[in-house]
Amino acid sequence: MVGREQVERFCSLTERAGLESVRIGDEVWVLASASVPCVLRPSGEKQYRLWALERQARGEEIDEYMEPAIDLSIPERARLAEILCHQPKDLSDEQMFQRRIEAIDLYMALRGFIKPEVEFELASDPLSDPFPLLMNENQCPECFGDELLTLGERAFRYSLPTKRNDHFDDHHLEAKERAEQLGQLIICKHEKCKDVKLYTVDHFRNHVESVHTIALRTSDQVQQRRARKLKLRRSRNSG
């Protein structure tokens, strides 16, 4: 938990170190025993550089800066950046608390992302198909066919199918449920499925499982997860 003291100390150190010390894409973390939050900066080699603001405030040499590869079109990352960079002034303690919880949840979700090196290699070979029908079990069927995303985003692999399902349920499922309620066709965005007609979300689930080997949650499992989330939110609000 971030205390007021730590936040004030962080702000004053940031000021003393100058604007150079924090950049878009940095992650601000409070380590268990640290007296001041640290800035974690993703580096080019997919490692994190630990930037201790205190070192910078003391005027010590800091390693040369490497441009981070930050892509805000991943919904979880865009939301996390929004929470970290745009803090409304008039938030109540409870709202601040909820934002912190959300930031931690988002960070944990983002940790599930693994860059798909294999797909990048395939994509660079003009003879290979970067988007085959058989997907990796950790990829998102919706992002996979989304031509507005970069190749890397489309081929993203989560660390586990359950992480991918969290992402799918939080970002894509509601639109599909709405389409079903309105009697519209449910679309599989995969470029090889343009002629596939699906009428319900369950059809879609069956389709992605049989054609793309992706096992999404069943509607029962989705309802159970929603009930758990609701219960958790209520207990946070009352506690």
H-helix or E-strand spanning residue 29: strand 27-29
Q: How far apart are CA 174 and CA 193, in angstroms?
A: 21
Structure tokens at 225: 């997860």
Residue 73 CB, nearest approach to Zn ion (Å): 11
Residue 153 CB, nearest approach to Zn ion (Å): 9
- Closest to Zn ion by CB, 84 vs 186, is 186
In the chain, count of helices (H) and strands (E)? 11, 5
- Closest to Zn ion by CB, 95 vs 206, is 206
- Closest to Zn ion by CB, 190 vs 217, is 190
User: Alpha-carbon dihedral of residues 87, 92, 97, 103, nearest 10 degrees?
Assistant: -20
- Closest to Zn ion by CB, 38 vs 188, is 188
- Closest to Zn ion by CB, 67 vs 71, is 71
**Interface ranges with Zn ion (CB under 5 A):** 140, 142-143, 188, 190, 193
Q: How far apart are CA 104 and CA 20, in angstroms?
A: 25
- Closest to Zn ion by CB, 41 vs 77, is 77
Residue 22 CB, nearest approach to Zn ion (Å): 29
- Among 76, 222, 225, 210, CA closest to 156: 76
Q: How far apart are CA 113 and CA 136, in angstroms?
A: 13
Structure tokens at 4: 């007021």
Residue 74 CB, nearest approach to Zn ion (Å): 9
Residue 80 CB, nearest approach to Zn ion (Å): 16
- Among 212, 210, 231, 228, CA closest to 220: 228
Residue 157 CB, nearest approach to Zn ion (Å): 12
